[in-house]
Amino acid sequence: MPGDVLSGVQRGIEKESLRVARDGRLALTPHPEQLGSALTHPFITTDFCESQLELITGVHASVEACIREITEIHQVVYRALGDEVLWAASMPCNLPGDAAIPIGRYGSSNVGRAKSVYRTGLGHRYGRRMQTISGIHYNFSLPTRLTNDDYFGLIRNFRRHSWLLLYLFGASPAVCSTFVEGRQHQLQPLGDGTLYLPHATSLRMGRLGYQSEAQSSLAVSYNSLHTYAASLQEALTKSYPAYEAIGVRDGDDYRQLSTTMLQIENEFYGAIRPKRPIRSGERALHALRERGVEYVEVRLMDLDPFVSVGIDAATMRLLDIFLLHCLLRESPPDSPDELKAISRNKQRVAARGREPGLLLERGAEQVSLTDWGREVLADCAPIAAALDAAWAGKDAGSRAASGAGAADIGAQSGASAPAAAVGRDGAGHGSAHRDALSDAIGYLNDPDSTPSARVLQTLARDYGNSYVRFVLAQSLRHRDSIMALPFTEELEHRFTGLARGSLLKQGEIEAADSVDFETWRQEYLSPGKLEV
């Protein structure tokens, strides 16, 4: 692959975080008005509940630029939160009962109401507590034109090997007991109000996380855009008995958008999704069918509670290496039996990933996690070296053209990312991709060095095995580090303008509605909107 393609990888981040009070309980306050409209702000919105912020970067051609932007968004957000903080972990804080968790609110427009009704439906279907889980979504594309088949080949290989990312970066081996109150589970008591599994990597991606008994019956094929779209089409248009029992309306109140297995495309829980930006009023499946895949969205990354913005540069570089490996490696078609084995491997690693001698399914054989992981990372070594070489050439060309070194990045932006977020390679590159790969190999050789193990070690050493005490302390520490960064007038002025503009835009959308919500709902959900 040419160096200019490797150095032109495009990435972006979507980071979810709960707002919490200083006592570690979920904040029940509305979305801060200072942050503008959750419906229309381009960088700051909410996810499931009113208390769950989603911070969104633009698309960036360098890891440093992406880290810089997500850091700046954090700077803006913290200045609007008052005494509240962003919860630093994926599994939620001390939660109230389901009914007290506030659904996201997006105004009185039809599209705004639909977003709230969709979330109401998620609450009825899966429970509101499950929806308060947070994570990092990593968006990835290449500057060269890839075909739909290229992207689906990447997706198939990603799914085959995604268990490795759970092992390397899973950081949710423990939970607050309020999360599972009233539910059956197999977690073990650890400390005051804390439950865990001793070898877990990511409870978020296990049976307690984003799971759906209904969706488990979906046999979604990733062999082509056609087969993928056909699978989703059925789930979006065929009524499901358990959801028929919930009903769409209770008098004037809406309980969900529809009784189909999926209300909308985003309800499909996948570790990776093919994506295409949508136009106003357009369905996501129609956009994919009409214009093809533009990027993939990786959805299995836990928030790193040891990093102030939830992800660091080394992790992002390893994701780039891994995704390129998935793209370049031969990718045979999947089968129903392989899809079941993929699901079993994911569940096994989420719950038991650091268990000595853990075996995974690979075709007809059983293979150890460590042996298989070493094989995958060994295959990644030439890609890491090629990325470093491509960036060395790009950095040299940039310096020659501008006379400015990479060390000027922070000064030019007016705000430097915290050291913990940038990683040990700082703003330069050199051997950064090979270093990230070396770190991953180290995690395989020493399970106690993985993020999930470090969480449990820190809980025991410093916080009396209390999950809430640990994450709250990390959250406050991250707030202080972000608030200590330089905050320029330009950055403040820009985001003040974005907030004001988003509120105006929301008002325009509300004023432009010409039909009642029920008419709008039926039109938006009509099967014809999914077709090309």
pLDDT of residue 211: 62
**Residue 345 identity (one-letter amino acid):** N
DSSP state of 80: T
CA 178, CA 157: separation in Å to the nearest integer? 36
Please give the sequence-ordered ranges of beta strands (E in DSSP) within 354-466, or none if there are none.
Answer: 359-362, 365-368
CA 91, CA 6: separation in Å to the nearest integer? 34
| Residue 6 pLDDT > 90 | no
pLDDT, average across residues 47-74: 97
How confident is residue 412, by pLDDT bands cut at 50, 70 and 90?
A: very low
CA 301, CA 205: separation in Å to the nearest integer? 9
The pLDDT tens digits of the residues spanning 123-138 come to 999 999 999 999 999 9
Cα-Cα-Cα-Cα dihedral sign, residues 64, 70, 76, 80: negative
**Which three-class secondary structure state does DSSP give residue 162?**
coil
Are 197 and 412 spatial neighbours (Cβ–Cβ below 8 Å)? no
The pLDDT tens digits of the residues spanning 431-450 come to 999 999 999 999 999 999 99
| Residue 289 pLDDT > 90 | yes
- Provide the 10 A C-beta neighbour count for residue 52: 25
pLDDT of residue 156: 98
pLDDT, average across residues 305-321: 98
CA 435 to chain centre: 24
The pLDDT tens digits of the residues spanning 30-52 come to 999 999 999 999 999 999 999 99
Q: In 3D, which of 438, 110, 73 has the Cα closest to residue 254?
A: 110
Backbone angles phi, psi at 25, to 5 degrees: -95, 155
**Residue 63 identity (one-letter amino acid):** V
Pairing of strands 85-86, 10-20: antiparallel
Task: Write b or e for each residue in 364-374: b if 16 or more Cβ atoms lie within 10 A of its Cβ, otherwise e.
Answer: eeeeebeebbe
Domains of the chain and any CATH numbers: 10-212+264-530 (3.30.590.20)
pLDDT of residue 50: 98
pLDDT, average across residues 260-273: 94
CA 53, CA 478: separation in Å to the nearest integer? 16
Helix-, strand-, coil-residue percentages of the chain, each rounded to 5: 50, 15, 35
DSSP state of 7: T
CA 299, CA 272: separation in Å to the nearest integer? 6
CA 329, CA 449: separation in Å to the nearest integer? 29
In Å, what is the CA distance from 353 to each residue of 12, 170, 203, 317?
Answer: 28, 9, 11, 22
pLDDT, average across residues 408-428: 35
pLDDT of residue 282: 96
pLDDT of residue 409: 25
Place of tokens 């912020």: 53
DSSP state of 387: H
How confident is residue 116, by pLDDT bands cut at 50, 70 and 90?
A: very high
Are 414 and 490 spatial neighbours (Cβ–Cβ below 8 Å)? yes
Report the Cα–Cα distance between both ends of the chain, in Å, rounded.
33
pLDDT, average across residues 521-525: 97
Q: Note the pTM of the prediction, 2 decimals.
A: 0.93
The pLDDT tens digits of the residues spanning 317-331 come to 999 999 999 999 999
Are 18 and 52 spatial neighbours (Cβ–Cβ below 8 Å)? yes
The pLDDT tens digits of the residues spanning 331-374 come to 999 999 999 999 999 999 999 999 999 999 999 999 999 999 99
Instruction: Take residue 156 and report the two structure tokens written for it.
Output: 């198939």
| Residue 404 pLDDT > 60 | no
DSSP state of 61: S
